[in-house]
A and B are shown apart, each in its own frame.
Chain A
């Protein structure tokens, strides 16, 4: 026993020996910042939580137009946000392009985001700009119900999130519980209606035996094949699927109730340095050219009034989006996730 105890002591004291030097350094968040690239060096570092295939061609257009080189790092939005929080003011990044508003809220809350210039935010509809102009959406994705018009009529579809628990849908609908957009939708519901209401909603969903899918795309496939009648997705997946097969029996339905059921999530940007090249990149992302790119390539909603979404999308101004602060959503999200986990929705 003595040897065992000694071993433990040795391990603990070693760990402790290692601690002091790094402790001081790890907590000295107040050290002077050296991160900002020298102004006007014709290059900017972008942390992109959006995929390279989608973003790289757009960045090429930007470089061609302005001569400013973009050093782009690609990663998962949440992990990039975590990295930014650990880097603090020492980040080499000039711009953070995030897949969702929650990550932008977290970066803002940590005091890393600088106010966006007026000429950038004034282009974007006010409800998609963060408090104090610390972030702005650049493209929108609406939560919708994708359905198979051969199997079900729009008037038979759920009119609200609560309606998904209606018994007539039992076993005939789909959800992707691990998908970040679904989770945001639940977090918005949580923020608007409180934890008890969220638990009730989740329970009614679980009781209604949804089919679980790993991602939104799989739901659209299952709807098209008739395996399920409808599923909860982002609006552009049906468009993606129809790009190659126009006759695919999948349509979007926008739940009329409003609030979390007609959530429009945004992918957006935060400014992390004073580099004028970074600001130039932001200006480009809200330009007509870039906004048209989002509309045509990803079927997302452009967020500037001068560019229209691709046809047959319900116009953005007709969607009764919930009036909610996304920083608040990112605050409740962890609890939302653990409630989703506890409900059994993400398990089979």
Chain B
């Protein structure tokens, strides 16, 4: 437990973290300004209504349900691929992460096209289905089945490093494997469960693509409706302010849950013995097989199916290059930014440090349009030359997705003992040298994983891209958008498939390999 002591954090680190937090809070400042412009009448008229209560209920409801479904899938899935003798473990491990490559609007459209009242399943069985593809159940499927990998990846990383001694001790005291899992393994998973759970909850709160297609009202759809109908930004800002406050509550809960968690500096010399599944092999394979079928194979087949009937325009290689370039830039900047923020909060452990780290979540739960409009205001007034440039677009991605990198960096740092850094310091290295030669190499897998997550999320980002991109700048996501807004989904098939292919390589190289390892 000596890991929990504080270490000194340089003024430079603190200053950078503060500057980053100030940048990330631009949308909050924008919201407060817009909300403050509204008189108290507007507050009463637009917020003190049953609709707000209903939206709070529906937003919290879907977030909790998506989290629950994600836990139900990811905990057994992660355990099976990292701690058992499941056949084809590596293959299943990769399949478990692939749903991350699907944009949520594609996930939702797949849900609707298969489970819709006149969808593929209804056609196959020859009668209409009840409307499970829409509303709450549709949103749960489209978001839960496709965002569980955030949690799964963190769980796999943790499970692989767990000290087997505790489990063996419990077994030797006569506990059954099930009891060992619940009473010994699960408590050690609190850190990844809360960190991954936070990402899933906030991601769900900010999502527009899926909920709009399955017609489930949340704060995000209400904010879009306000922009769409009203062109009066005040109401949208008021609603978004409530969403930001809700985020604060979620962050607070997560912070409470994280307190007192032992971030095991578990560098065990030996690997845990794989649990032998024996006759349980069949249900285990059925479980991972059906998860992979539903979350990877079915959407792939349905996308391929769209491309069959529909010409669709050929994709331009420039679009692919644009997507890759801005997403990679966002990933690099996010990883760089995550360092001072995570260093301060993990090593410094002060209230201010934690508050700064929490503040970097500001953009994560807000809908993309709010972040984009905040940057429209900021850039046209403060940084005119940057307006409608790729640099500003990257800035928007950083505001939206920095927490994905911070979470990964934070969890990598918290399992790295500060003793290594102290030793290097005592041997005369400068702080910067220690960071460059000791800390970064040791947490490299975490940094790569965080960068990979940002990259993947940025590849599929649409709302901020549409508003902030340079004139004439097409990405795969904007191409999917422009195809789907004229015709049916057939024209979107090719760019969607390209988006997946372009995402799979970095998903493999940056996220899956560092987390799962070469010979898992």
Quick check: B29 and A15 within 8 Å, CB to CB? yes
**Cβ of A83 and Cβ of B373 under 8 Å apart?**
yes
Residue of B nearest to A47 (CB): B471
| Distance A256 CA – B387 CA, assembled complex (angstroms) | 49
Interface of B is mostly: helix
Contact status A217-B225, CB under 8 Å? no
Count B interface residues, CB 8 Å: 62
Instruction: Mark A6-33 against chain B: 1 for CB-CB distance below 8 A, else 0.
Output: 1110110011011100110111100100
CB distance from B316 to the nearest CB of A (A): 12
A87 on interface, CB distance cutoff 8 Å: yes
Interface flag for B43 (CB, 8 Å): no
A54: chain B residues within 8 A (beta carbon):
486
Are A53 and B482 closer than 8 Å at their CB atoms? yes
Assess the A337–B229 pair: CB atoms within 8 A.
yes
- Closest B residue to A348 using CB positions: B131
Which of chain B's residues 149-184 have a Cβ closer than 8 Å to chain A?
none
State whether A79 touches B467 (Cβ < 8 A).
yes
Interface of A is mostly: helix
Instruction: Decide: A334 and B235 in contact? CB cutoff 8 A.
Output: yes
> Cβ of B32 and Cβ of A19 under 8 Å apart?
yes
Instruction: Enumerate A100-122 residues with CB–CB distance to B below 8 Å.
Output: 102-103, 106-107, 109-110
Interface string of B337-381 (1 = CB under 8 A from A): 000000000000001101110110000000001001100111011
Q: Chain A contacts of B354 at CB under 8 A?
A: 7
Q: How far is the CA of A10 from the CA of B134 in the complex (A)?
A: 41
Contact mask for chain A residues 320-348; partner B; CB cutoff 8 A; 1 contact, 0 none: 00000000001001101110011000111
Contacts of B231 in A (CB 8 A): 78, 81-82, 85, 102-103, 106-107, 109-110, 330
Which of chain A's residues have a CB closer than 8 A to the CB of B134? 347-348
Say yes or no for B268: interface residue by CB 8 A criterion. no
Contact of B359 among A11, A31, A51, A75 (CB under 8 A): A11
Asked if A71 is at the interface of the complex by the 8 Å CB criterion, the answer is yes
Question: Is the Cβ of B381 less than 8 Å from the Cβ of A28?
Answer: yes
Q: Which of B217, B230, B369 contacts A79 (CB 8 A)?
A: B369
Q: Which of A14, A28, A78, A348 contacts B21 (CB 8 A)?
A: A14
- Within the complex, what minimum Cβ distance (angstroms) separates B89 from chain A? 40
Q: Known A72-B472, A86-B376; judge A6-B482 contact (CB<8 A).
A: no
Give bound CA distance, A10 to B359, whole Å.
Answer: 10
Sample (21) of A-B pairs whose CB atoms are under 8 Å apart: A7-B351, A7-B355, A11-B359, A18-B25, A18-B28, A19-B32, A25-B378, A78-B228, A82-B231, A88-B380, A102-B231, A110-B231, A183-B229, A334-B226, A334-B232, A334-B235, A341-B51, A341-B225, A348-B134, A348-B135, A348-B215
**Residues of A in contact with B (beta carbons under 8 Å apart):** 3-4, 6-8, 10-11, 14-15, 17-19, 22-23, 25-28, 31, 34, 45, 51-54, 71-76, 78-79, 81-83, 85-88, 90-92, 102-103, 106-107, 109-110, 178, 180, 183, 214, 217, 227, 330, 333-334, 336-338, 341-342, 346-348
Interface residues of B (CB under 8 A from A): 21-22, 25-26, 28-30, 32-33, 51, 112, 118, 131, 134-135, 212-213, 215, 217, 225-233, 235-236, 248, 252, 255-256, 351-352, 354-356, 358-359, 369, 372-373, 376-378, 380-382, 384, 387-388, 463, 466-467, 471-472, 482, 485-486, 488
